[in-house]
Chain A
Amino acid sequence: MQTSLPFKKIIIIGGGTAGWISACYLAKMWQDYDLEIKIIESDAIGTIGVGEGTTPSIKGFFEQLGIEAKEWMPACNATYKTGIRFVNWSSDPNYKSYFHPFYSQLDEYFQHEFFQNIQLKHRGFDVHAHPDQYLLASELAQQRKAPIEPEHYPFDMAYAYHFDATLLAQFLKKKALQWNVTHQVATINEVKQKDDGSIASVVTESGETIEADFFVDCSGFRSLLLGKTLKVPYNSFADSLLNDSAVTIVTEREDTTPSMTLSTALSCGWAWRIPLTNRFGNGYVFSSRFQSPQDAEEEFRRHLALPESAQFNHLKMRVGHFAKGWEKNVLAVGLSQGFIEPLEATALHFATQSVVDFVSAVDNSTDQAGYSNQTAYNNKLSDRFSCVRDYIELHYLANSRHDTPYWKAARSHTPSRRLQRILTTWHQGKSVPRVLDEEAVSLQLFGHESWLCLLAGKGVFPESEHTIDALPTAMRIDMQKIKHFVETSAKHYPLHDDALAALKQS
């Protein structure tokens, strides 16, 4: 354990969401040390503002920073997120859509029944194995309710948020400055290295040399320090994840605010719809191998029923990650470290977990320099990337659309060994949770339920051969009881708009 911090000065390159997340967390966690943290932000290079959707880990991140929801949520036009509804990913009319929830304690109550029916469905019984009816979050989303636990119904709810990433960066900037982080607007022209290859300093366009003993690279896809300077190899996921482009636009809000993200499969990718308190964020992620940006924009315009005059933004994405997130005296956070398409809103999860794990690695380092856990950190990060990649990839492998070459190509490549094992286990009707445990996948972001929801929700089952009447009575699940339980539970939760209004008032 460190009794003093091995760094005296940390420079953060880049003032986007990842930069300010890093600044806040380092400043808060190491507030008792003699540490100078400076963030250098260029006014010439714009930020992408990644991540309007998040995963539940962001909640714990804010808690660690000591920032309450009532403080940051209204400032960032934030809404609650119960999960993601996937629409049109399957050609089976019984599986036109399904909900990937953030799991709640109450979902444990009928977990066994859900798992049992999945097994029976694999054995050819026509039982109810679609996940939606088992899950509270799905019902809350359906009723546009907020997933926050009431005092009289105090069961643990996992939930996340949608927010305006640019506003969040501004909010965190204010916090970081309050916590003694210094801010300098400058464009970096040169990076100087020491003999051992580590970074010695950065030189600004005005010629100022800024030294530090540690650097956090939040320079976005440029990856100025980790990629360009230290030349850490890059692992591309382009072979398994086809999408490399996105077209985005904001649209007006509806009368009431949904509490979920919508992900709708289109001809050559999928479109997100993220509700904020003042608007919707919309994007179409597609593969430029199968669709030109112009065609994508046109299809997306039709999908959103927008007029010809609507102005879209176009983005290019590099999907994959650097082999190491922490090399020498550089930690990369955010896009500079890697990126997986935003299908499961994992970008900010990677950013926050990277900095959280880094602080833990340094705090628990057994050497004075703070680097004893560096290899373990990098291995964990790589594993996180590959697990999330597998999960995202499964969305495509499990699709059953036949309407375009894109969807056929999306499921025609060879998955990783681990993903192949999971799929084989599923098709054999054996225990996927056991395999996930053996492969240590369940230690990562997506637990057993997520994998089962995906496969069951997309209807990856053999044809039913037996009616439910062929089952012994004891094995028939009373779906009415489950429906009643979920609907009655949902009554206890506030309407999403009421919860947001209460937050604003408080």
Chain B
Amino acid sequence: MLPIPQNITIVGLNVHGLLTALLLRKTYKPAVTGITLVGLKEEDSPPKAYIAGKTLNTLLEHFGYSEANWMRQTQATFKLSNRYVGFSEQEFSVANASEVDILHQPLMLELSKLKRQAYQLDLSLDDFFFAAALAKRNLSPKAQDFPFETDYQYQVDANCLFTLLQKIAAEHSITTLPSTLETLQLDQHGTLKHIECEDQILSGDYFFDCTQSAQLLIGNMPDFRQETLPEVRINDRVLTYTLAAECCASEVVTTALDCGFVLQYTLQDAVHFQYHYSSKFIQDPQAVQLLERHISQQGYKKVLQRHLSASQAYLVSQPWIHNCLAVGPACGLTQGSEDHELSHTFAMLEQFVSSIQSPDDAKDVIKNYNHRIKSRFVYAHSYHSTLQLLNSRRNSPYWQTPQDANALTPIGRSLFSQWLSGEDLSVEPVLDINGLTAWYALFSGLGHYPTGELKPHPKSRAIQDNIQDMCRKLAGCCLNFQTHDSLIAEGKHHANITAV
């Protein structure tokens, strides 16, 4: 059994460090557990948007910030779906789960199976996902008297979130030391005894490394090892543009460009474009041209900020070594076409708290923790690499890399094999990452159906009628939902009144 933390030291003054401090503060009262956060804020922080789940809202509400309030302060908007454009002939959505979907999921499973059996069916799985229907109409996830829950996330401005978290930390007994780490001291067993920061010695029973890719603590622990995540097309650059925007979408759009893909996040008054590309296939100036052309095609003009940075996918072998835990990008980074950075951080800290409560032997608890956290990364990576590998683009050397199903991760390979053989997909999903329906959306959206001679289905008319009826129902349900723009405007209005 592990001891309850009494003295926690967190290194890294950034969103992950602050979230670590606040999540632990939420669990451990100041009278029992001291929490110190060490670090200097990065100068000229690059523009960045995060996708956050409802756990962020739960945390901020715990500290007295209502959803409308913190969303306004962080320029946040809702996210219901991720729309993929240009990865195959048809664009497709991977939507958040909705309880409405339960009612017609059997139909979706049946029809996707029939289509895989070479029946000629006009089928788009987008039609089956309620959150996608909401996002396509630019609706919010909020409705009055609609008893089906639809899961949603947030698109959050990273710098605004940092400012808010810093403020909350200051109000809730988090000691912040604006200092840099100089050395660290291990005992004979390899346990971290203390760290030294500009003449201060900071001890702790647990140390959290939130220093991102610098890995200042975990990287100096014995047995530290880092794995590279297998990527067929390694994107090593991220080009970010922030532009002024008037209306906000309740979806993230991921568009395949010639040598990578662009993630498009919408915030309250701005839109972020993050172009992940490989410098092996395109030089930076051409990437800028390409992205600017894409942005211009979307109708955006007023550039607020732009930034170019390096990026690399990796994962530490043991995120928890002795009394040191790596949290956030210090633990690993997947080059996701979907952003799981914050959700990984929340999952790590929730798993840590649950580990402390475990009656099991400390070694087993840490082993179990490491296994679970690594599984999350591998699962998220599997989804992304499957998207990359099974795409059907052929228009640039980057995309012409041979599509080899054997290069898929074991999870991706197993699911793709089930898909091709017409079985129901079966995998143990990681709760807050893409579930099974996301895999159906992926394989279907990428067009992995039999080609050649297709069989007419004897009940094709009835099937199309069923689909039409389902679409009518989803469209009817959408009438209950407030538009995304108006809800965000309401939040702004409310914030203004509160300020007055």
From A108, A151, A152, A485, B147 is in contact (CB under 8 Å) with A485
Chain A residues with Cβ below 8 Å from B480 are: 152-153
- Docked Cα-Cα span, A15 to B340, in Å, equals 72
**Complex interface residues of chain A between 311 and 360 (CB less than 8 A to chain B):** none
CB pair B145 A488 closer than 8 Å: yes
CB pair B472 A154 closer than 8 Å: yes
Q: Does B477 contact A (CB under 8 A)?
A: yes
Q: Does B476 contact A (CB under 8 A)?
A: yes
Number of interface residues of A (CB under 8 A): 16
**Minimal Cβ-Cβ distance residue in B for A484:** B147
- Docked Cα-Cα span, A491 to B147, in Å, equals 10
Q: Does B455 contact A (CB under 8 A)?
A: no
Q: A109-B103, A151-B479 are in contact. Are A489 and B473 (CB under 8 A)?
A: no
- Docked Cα-Cα span, A57 to B146, in Å, equals 29
Number of interface residues of B (CB under 8 A): 12
Q: A488-B145, A488-B146 are in contact. Are A154 and B103 (CB under 8 A)?
A: no
Chain A residues with Cβ below 8 Å from B103 are: 105-106, 108-109, 155
| Number of residue pairs A-B, CB distance < 8 angstroms | 30
Q: Does B304 contact A (CB under 8 A)?
A: no
Q: Does A448 contact B (CB under 8 A)?
A: no
- Shortest A149–chain B CB gap in Å is 8
- Docked Cα-Cα span, A108 to B477, in Å, equals 17
- Docked Cα-Cα span, A489 to B147, in Å, equals 7
- Shortest B468–chain A CB gap in Å is 12
Interface string of B93-113 (1 = CB under 8 A from A): 000000100110000000000
CB pair A492 B145 closer than 8 Å: yes
- Docked Cα-Cα span, A155 to B473, in Å, equals 7
- Shortest A422–chain B CB gap in Å is 26
**Complex interface residues of chain A between 180 and 208 (CB less than 8 A to chain B):** none
Main SS at interface, chain A: helix
- Docked Cα-Cα span, A155 to B470, in Å, equals 9
- Docked Cα-Cα span, A492 to B146, in Å, equals 9
- Docked Cα-Cα span, A340 to B99, in Å, equals 41
Interface string of A94-119 (1 = CB under 8 A from B): 00000000000110110000000000
Chain A residues with Cβ below 8 Å from B477 are: 152-154
Chain A residues with Cβ below 8 Å from B102 are: 109
**Complex interface residues of chain B between 11 and 47 (CB less than 8 A to chain A):** none
Interface string of A271-285 (1 = CB under 8 A from B): 000000000000000
CB pair A152 B476 closer than 8 Å: yes
- Docked Cα-Cα span, A151 to B472, in Å, equals 9
Chain B residues with Cβ below 8 Å from A491 are: 145
- Docked Cα-Cα span, A103 to B473, in Å, equals 18
- Docked Cα-Cα span, A153 to B473, in Å, equals 8
**Complex interface residues of chain A between 129 and 156 (CB less than 8 A to chain B):** 150-155
Chain B residues with Cβ below 8 Å from A484 are: 147
Interface string of B388-410 (1 = CB under 8 A from A): 00000000000000000000000
**Complex interface residues of chain B between 468 and 484 (CB less than 8 A to chain A):** 472-473, 476-477, 479-480
- Docked Cα-Cα span, A357 to B476, in Å, equals 35
- Docked Cα-Cα span, A492 to B102, in Å, equals 20
Q: 15 interchain pairs (CB within 8 A)?
A: A105-B103, A109-B99, A109-B103, A151-B479, A152-B477, A152-B480, A153-B477, A154-B473, A154-B477, A155-B103, A155-B473, A484-B147, A488-B147, A489-B147, A491-B145
**B residues near A, CB below 8 A?**
99, 102-103, 145-147, 472-473, 476-477, 479-480
Given A150-B476, A153-B480, output 18 extra A-B contacts at Cβ < 8 Å.
A105-B103, A106-B103, A108-B103, A109-B102, A109-B103, A151-B479, A152-B476, A152-B477, A153-B476, A153-B477, A154-B477, A155-B103, A484-B147, A488-B145, A488-B146, A489-B147, A491-B145, A492-B145
Q: Closest 5 CB pairs between A and B?
A: A154-B476, A152-B479, A488-B147, A485-B147, A154-B473
**A residues near B, CB below 8 A?**
105-106, 108-109, 150-155, 484-485, 488-489, 491-492
